[in-house]
Amino acid sequence: MATPHIEAEKGDFARTVLMPGDSLRAKFIAENYLGDARQVNGVRGMLGYTGLYKGEKVSVMASGMGVPSIGIYSYELFRFYDVENIVRIGTAGAVDERLSVGDVVIAMSAATNSNYAAQYRLPGTPAPTADFSLLMTAYQAAELLGKRVYVGSVLTSDTFYDDADSLREWQKIGILAIEMECAALYLNAARLGKKALTICTISDCPFTGESASSETRQTAFRDMMQIGLDMAAGV
């Protein structure tokens, strides 16, 4: 039962899907971590794979960049493919100056400047929040791997190149990092009664100019991949 954006059949996806933004990162994870991996989606170049990790069925599929893109793909996976858990594994820019390139952030909640939640016609402002059980499983997986992670709030922004220098203002209320997808994922999960989590690796530090290359972003940020896979095998 294909959707407008996913060609897979019912049952092709595991209950838990890891979602990097980049299709090449999805391909890298499938080829390097999953056993018996097979491609289940290629529509619009948005690659998706399902295979085995530690004996458990796990899927990985790209989300594309930004709120509208992950909004589409996560909704279709939750709504039409019986996916229960989606874990975004992507990159983010540091807002908290303790963070450096390569550090891992787990998003407990997401502030946003997106208008995505307007569709729900709520009489107030929602608070996009991770599922606690997924968050705890990921945190425990990181501890077992001996990996340090930062847990807190991120900012989901609709703009990558922003004319306004507003990061200092977000820094004042404890935002750890800025990315472009988390809030939409959390809102979709909440609306559909599903579970979601975001695990990000810091790829650039706007205040210092430190930045990772595109190749590094695709293949070298393995801590978040390992944490995501270990938690997927445990939920």
What are the catalytic residues?
204
Q: What's the rounded Cα separation, in Å, for the pair 169 and 65?
A: 24
Find out whether 176 and 99 touch, Cβ atoms under 8 Å: yes
Closest CA relative to residue 69, chosen from 90, 50, 85: 90
- Give CA–CA dist 26/38, Å, rounded: 12
DSSP for 14-54, please give it. Answer: -SEEEE-S-HHHHHHHHHHH-EEEEEEE-GGG--EEEEEET
Q: Are 202 and 105 in contact (CB under 8 A)?
A: yes
Strand 85-94 with 56-61, pairing: unpaired
Could you give the count of Cα atoms lying within 13 Å of 234 in the half-sphere of its Cβ? 17
